[in-house]
């Protein structure tokens, strides 16, 4: 059955299934996502050990969700660009570079904010 034929809850369940497939695909194939996942587990463990506050947990979880989301979007942009422009094109390069830069900017600020949260517990 095509997903367009599904109605109601079946359509919602299918949508979640596709999203989970996408997340698993990116985790299996993208080295940077694997690094983000490992870093997230370390941060979550550190947060638990150091008993960070509820407000700090909120920030940490938002940073992790944002990082995962940006890495997922970066991979989507890369795959679509590869699909529509299998040969080298400067505009394809710019699109991929911009998507990667978005991840880099977010990651840098996530590390900075993480430092603000965790350093006071460590020193």
Question: How many Cα atoms occupy the beta-carbon half-sphere of 95 within 13 Å?
Answer: 17
**Annotated binding-site residue? 94:** no
**Annotated binding-site residue? 79:** no
**Annotated binding-site residue? 25:** no
**Annotated binding-site residue? 36:** no
> How distant, in Å, are the alpha carbons of 24, 39, 62, 81 from that of 110?
23, 11, 10, 27
**Annotated binding-site residue? 121:** no
Q: Which two tokens stand for residue 91?
A: 């505009």
**Annotated binding-site residue? 56:** no
**Annotated binding-site residue? 82:** no
Active site residue 71: yes
Burial (CB < 10 A; 0-12, 13-18, 19+), residue 67, is buried
Q: Which two tokens stand for residue 14?
A: 């299918």
Question: How many Cα atoms occupy the beta-carbon half-sphere of 26 within 13 Å?
Answer: 23
**Annotated binding-site residue? 89:** yes
Q: Which of 36, 56, 60, 71 is catalytic?
A: 71
| Residues taking part in catalysis | 71
Binding site for substrate, by residue number, is 71
Binding site for a divalent metal cation, by residue number, is 78
Binding site for ATP, by residue number, is 18, 78, 87-89, 96-97
Binding site, by residue number, is 18, 71, 78, 87-89, 96-97
């Amino acid at each position: 059955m095509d997903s367009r034929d599904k109605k109601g809850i079946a359509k919602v369940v299918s949508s979640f299934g596709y999203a989970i497939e996408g997340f698993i695909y990116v985790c299996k194939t993208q080295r940077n996502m694997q690094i983000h996942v490992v870093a997230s587990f370390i941060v979550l463990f550190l947060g638990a050990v150091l008993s960070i506050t509820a407000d700090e947990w909120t920030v940490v979880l938002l940073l992790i969700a944002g990082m995962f989301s940006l890495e997922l979007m970066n991979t989507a942009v890369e795959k679509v660009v590869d699909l529509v422009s299998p040969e080298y094109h400067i505009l394809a390069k710019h699109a991929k570079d911009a998507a990667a830069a978005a991840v880099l900017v977010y990651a840098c600020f996530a590390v900075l904010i993480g430092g603000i949260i965790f350093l006071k517990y460590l020193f």
